[in-house]
Amino acid sequence: MNDRYVIGLDIGTTSTKAVLFHYDGAVIGELEVEYPILRPQADWAEQDPDEIVNASKQAIRLLMERTSVSPSAVTAVGISSAMHSIICLNEDKQPLSNAIIWADTRSSEQAAQLRLSLGSQFMKRTGTPFHPMTPFCKLTWMKQKKYPPFIEASSFASIKEYLCLLWFGEHVVDYATASSYGMFDIDACVWDVEALQLLQLSSEQFGKPVPPTYTLYGMSAALADELGLLPSTPFVVGATDGPLANLGVGATGEGDTVITIGTSGAIRQLSYRPMVDEHQRTFCYRVDDHLFVSGGATNNGGIVLHWLQKLFAINGLEKNASFTPSYDSLLRLAEQSPAGANGVLFLPYLNGERAPIWDGAARGSFVGLGMSHHQPDMIRAALEGTIFSLYHVGQTLREMSGRPTRLFANGGFSRSRLWLQIAADMFNQELLLPKSHQSAAWGAAWYSLYALGEVPSLAAIKNSVPMTNSILPVTEHSLVYEKNFTFYEKLATSLPMLRK
């Protein structure tokens, strides 16, 4: 097996990553290509779908060039992608619109309307709370506003579906991506009839739902040459980044829970039964014929640190005074503040919020600031606030499935020892860490190996996840966070003036 490799292609919010793995999970090489989020109007968040497809091509090609691995040694490519994107396509499958992504909140009014008119039965079928992140709410906005690309569209696709259409000519959608639309029946694995009727659309205008092991063949010689792969290289559709990140750290057992923070953040569990929250605080998506993922996402993860970077920048107020602090310098400052940030709490709703409050109009706030507080307290409070938001979701998961059996961490925040310690302390539980933070890519790669019969099971990935030292909670810190969460939870639900 040592001379055979697999690629995980992870299409994210701000970049696409191509990662080359040994079968044992060791990372041989990785390549990241970034792209911008476009904001043509307030509350809009879009991306150029062709730019993302080209970034995916570039990432794979450069990865192959820099690792010097023979194309014949690559067994397959597995695909991971961020959730909730939607593109209007014409009859020739060309984009009529940009990809409208999860961070877009233009359909807040429609989400509220749908919540009132459809209620809990619809949520039980789809497993997805009503929120402007979902394509269902976005499509409802398009229909109500007579959005020209919607009126002219022949079909609709997520960014992953669009890539598969261009590269293989098949319009298919994996179960997890379909679930993230907010209009997919997770029991029957079909597009929801009531949703289609409301939109006055047909199921033929959306991708054919397929399991994550669905394999695409028949890449053109020209495309294969662009990618540096053989035309016979199979691509496996995989799933969304959430469940794949859980798989990629080996969190496949009942009660295994994963905290992920990248641009946004999430806390999730895989299970062999649907765990739909009747109070609509969390989501439940189907992953494959037997597996579901439950949990909740926050809009505000690493993007909070980026906001702090801009907040504390000095922009030429005096000659030669321009200065933007690095992420590392911000984190070092935060270490100067104790657990609890000297009494400062931060609601991290800079970009609205998903779980568990599902309020696209929510806004963030520092609470408890006084003359004695300084930058370290504000930075530490912001780091703690992002973990509080995930702990808030975790309390709902705990109601449904009990205390996490094992707690894992992955994503960009796993590079910060301080942020990881805050998470371990707040959950008051040992935090397990994989060596690679490319867990979604490894999950996608493993699904491709499983689809081709190269590995015996999904659960077998546990033996192929290189781990590093875990983080143990500090009891005194845990007690501080237990007390502070009581105030955080009250603030999160009782500050209407923070709604825009």
Residue whose C-alpha is closest to residue 107's, from 156, 153, 145 = 145
- List, for residues 9-24, the tens digit of each pLDDT value: 999 989 999 999 999 9
3-class SS of residue 20 = strand
Ranked by mean pLDDT, the top range of 63-77, 306-320, 480-494 is: 63-77
Q: Does domain 5-249 have CATH number 3.30.420.40?
A: yes
- List, for residues 329-382, the tens digit of each pLDDT value: 999 999 999 999 999 999 999 988 889 988 877 889 999 999 999 999 999 999
Q: What phi and psi values does residue 409 have, to the nearest 5 degrees?
A: -135, 140
**Contact yes or no for 25/442 (Cβ under 8 A):** yes
The C-alpha atoms of residue 112 and residue 107 are separated, in whole angstroms, by 9
From the number of C-beta atoms within 10 Å of its C-beta (0-12, 13-18, 19+), residue 204 rates as exposed
- List, for residues 114-155, the tens digit of each pLDDT value: 999 997 889 999 999 998 999 999 999 999 999 999 999 999
The pLDDT assigned to 371 comes to 97
Q: What phi and psi values does residue 408 have, to the nearest 5 degrees?
A: -115, 160
Strand partners, 239: 80
How far is residue 223 from each of residues 109, 167, 337, measured CA to CA in Å? 42, 7, 52
Residue bearing the bigger pLDDT, 297 or 222: 222
- List, for residues 393-409, the tens digit of each pLDDT value: 999 999 998 999 999 99
Q: In this structure, what token pair is assigned to residue 41? A: 């109007």
Q: Go through 282-314 and write b for each residue having 16 or more CB atoms within 10 A of its CB, e for each that does not.
A: bbbbbbbeebbbbbbbbbbbbbbbebbeeebee
- Mean pLDDT, rounded, for 416-435: 97
The pLDDT assigned to 1 comes to 44
Strand partners, 47: 99
The pLDDT assigned to 385 comes to 97
Q: What phi and psi values does residue 360 have, to the nearest 5 degrees?
A: -65, -15
Beta carbons within 8 Å of 148's beta carbon, 6+ residues apart: 96
Beta carbons within 8 Å of 317's beta carbon, 6+ residues apart: none
Strand partners, 387: none
